[in-house]
Amino acid sequence: MARAVAALALAAFCATTGGDGAVAQQAGLAPFVVTGDAIEAPLGGLKGDPARGRAIIVDRQKGLCLLCHSGPFPDQRFQGDIAPSLAGAGARLSVAQLRLRIVDGTLLNPETVMPSYYRIEGLTRVARAFEGKPILDAQEVEDVVAFLGALRDGPSTGETR
């Protein structure tokens, strides 16, 4: 059964199931299950490393996060202000909620400007060098989730867009 669901493209998956409870499978990527507005299980059962997560977040070629977000990174110049501050992200959202927002925020809000970090389907004219590759792999997603989940200081409510 999981195999049959696995054949569906992510977009079709959303349209037919409402995004709740079914297994999303993309070629070569770890499957995940969306429950409500969260993904409870770590991708690939991997354990995230917060220190590596921080390094990914501040890397402007890798995580790209600080192009749009600011956060508690006093050593980082030129933080963007397109999206809410990452400070207190772990107080506002559970680790499972953070995971879905990083994996594919368009499942919650199709209009979001947030890139889908663990998605390879339903994209248009992806450059050859990035074809078939998510922005972050499963381990990197878990690293980022682990770091953000530990950011407890900051506003417990935040504007989201």
Partner 1 sequence: MRAALFVLSLGAASAALAEIPADQRKSGADFMSAQTRAMQNDDATNPAMLSVLDGESRWSAKAGAGAKSCADCHGPAETSMKGVAARYPAFDAESGRPIDLAGRINSCVETRQQAQPLKPESPGLLALTAYVALQSRGMPVAPPSDERLASFRARGEELWRQRFGQLNFSCAQCHDDNWGRKLGSAPIPQAHPNAYPIYRLDWQGMGSLQRRLRNCMSGVRANAYPYGAPEFVDLELYLMQRAAGMPMETPGVRP
Of 25-33, 46-54, 102-110, 149-157: span binding partner 1 (CB under 8 A): 102-110
Q: How far is the CB of 45 from partner 1 (least distance, A)?
A: 24
Tell me if 146 sits within 8 A of 90, measured CB to CB. no
Among 5, 23, 55, 108, binds partner 1 (CB under 8 A): 108
Give CA–CA dist 18/35, Å, rounded: 10
12 touches partner 1 (CB under 8 A): no
H helices of 28-76, in order, are 50-58, 65-68
Q: Which of 144, 136, 148 is nearest to 72 (CA)?
A: 148
Among 96, 116, 121, 140, binds partner 1 (CB under 8 A): 116
Which residues between 119 and 138 bind partner 1 (CB under 8 A)?
A: 119, 123-130, 133, 135
Q: Which two tokens stand for residue 35?
A: 């429950």
159 touches partner 1 (CB under 8 A): no
In the block, residue with structure tokens 């990035």: 130
Q: Which of 109, 110, 107 is nearest to 118 (CA)?
A: 107
107 touches partner 1 (CB under 8 A): yes
Site string for partner 1, 61-100 (x = CB under 8 A): ---x-xxx--------xxxxxx------------------
Q: Which two tokens stand for residue 83?
A: 């999206």
